[in-house]
Amino acid sequence: MALRFPRFSQGLAQDPTTRRIWFGIATAHDFESHDDITEERLYQNIFASHFGQLAIIFLWTSGNLFHVAWQGNFESWVQDPLHVRPIAHAIWDPHFGQPAVEAFTRGGALGPVNIAYSGVYQWWYTIGLRTNEDLYTGALFLLFLSA
């Protein structure tokens, strides 16, 4: 590994000190100097990586929408947001004993649940989502957008 790091500087690769490690860290993103890449190609790669990041964000948000539509109480919360606690998802754990089931059964649920403290219910209400069908549609839209 010492002979191959960094590839573009054989003199530095022979350096026995930690200087070569710091140099490698410092120049890791200096693509133009060691990858023979043009500035135009660099900007194309950066632009393409933004779409990769957006795909990950859309996929994550799609999962949140789907799980709340499937296991949450979004429609009940929309009807009475002051008295209904938003449920993120149910807890299906075969190791839960009766005391744990009683401790995690809250927010008007029939079984153990996790309460959503993230604010996604409020955010979805603000952007106009009102039903579970809206959540499912949004999840599918973001899933297709991320592909």
Where in the chain are the domains?
Answer: 1-36, 51-146
pLDDT at 2 over 50: no
pTM for this structure? Answer: 0.67
Q: What's residue 3's pLDDT?
A: 44
Using DSSP's 3-state secondary structure scheme, residue 89 falls into strand
pLDDT at 16 over 80: no
Using DSSP's 3-state secondary structure scheme, residue 88 falls into strand
Find the mean pLDDT for residues 4-8. 52
pLDDT digits (tens, 9 = 90+) for 87-114: 888 888 778 888 888 888 876 777 888 8
Angle between helices 39-71 and 132-146 (to 10 degrees): 150
Lowest mean pLDDT segment, chosen from 27-41, 67-81, 99-113, 119-133: 27-41
Helix ranges restricted to H, 1-147: 10-13, 19-26, 31-34, 39-71, 74-79, 98-104, 120-126, 132-146
- pLDDT, mean over the chain: 84
Q: What's residue 7's pLDDT?
A: 58
pLDDT at 75 over 60: yes
Enumerate residues 6+ apart whose C-beta is below 8 A from 7: 13, 34
pLDDT digits (tens, 9 = 90+) for 28-62: 667 666 667 788 887 888 888 899 999 999 999 99
Grade residue 134 by pLDDT with cuts at 50, 70 and 90. very high
Q: How far apart are CA 95 and CA 54, in angstroms?
A: 37
